[in-house]
Amino acid sequence: NAGVTQTPKFRILKIGQSMTLQCAQDMNHNYMYWYRQDPGMGLKLIYYSVGAGITDKGEVPNGYNVSRSTTEDFPLRLELAAPSQTSVYFCASKSGRSNYEQYFGPGTRLTVT
C-alpha cells in the first residue's frame, strides 16, 4: 500500500500560470480532502469529496477547482496562480463518514512569484 501520494513535491509558479496538483490513494477510500497550510498556521480545508462524482467546497475554495472522476484520484486545479496561494498543500483520505481518521499525503510545497 502506497497510501496517499501527491505530486509534485515542490513547484514554483509565476503569477497567472495554471497547474494541477495530483493526489491519489490506493486504500479504496470514499472520502478525500484538500488542505492548505500557511506558515505558522494549521490546515484549512479547500475542497472535499465524499465519493466519485461528488465534490464540495470547504473553508477556503476561492481560486481552486477539483474533480473526482474515480475513487482513487482527486486532483486540485489552480487556474490563475496568485502569491496568496503560496502554501503547502496536503491531500487526505478516509474510508467512510463514521471513520474519524484521515490519512495524509506528504504535501506539495507551492511558491507563486
Q: Which residues bind other proteins (CB under 8 A)?
A: 31, 33, 40-45, 48, 50, 56, 58, 88, 90, 92, 97-98, 100-102, 104, 106-107, 109
Residue 58 in 3-state DSSP?
coil
Contacts 24+ apart (CB under 8 A), 44-51: 46/76, 46/89, 47/76, 49/74, 50/97
- Nearest distance from residue 105's CB to other proteins, in Å? 8
CB nearer to other proteins: give 14 or 62: 62
- Nearest distance from residue 56's CB to other proteins, in Å? 7
CB nearer to other proteins: give 19 or 60: 60
Q: Which three cell numbers stand for residue 41?
A: 498556521
- Nearest distance from residue 26's CB to other proteins, in Å? 17
- Nearest distance from residue 16's CB to other proteins, in Å? 27
Compute the distance between CA of residue 61 and CA of residue 28 in angstroms, rounded to an integer: 25
Find out whether 105 and 4 touch, Cβ atoms under 8 Å: yes
Count Cα atoms within 13 angstroms, Cβ side, for 4.
23
CB nearer to other proteins: give 54 or 80: 54
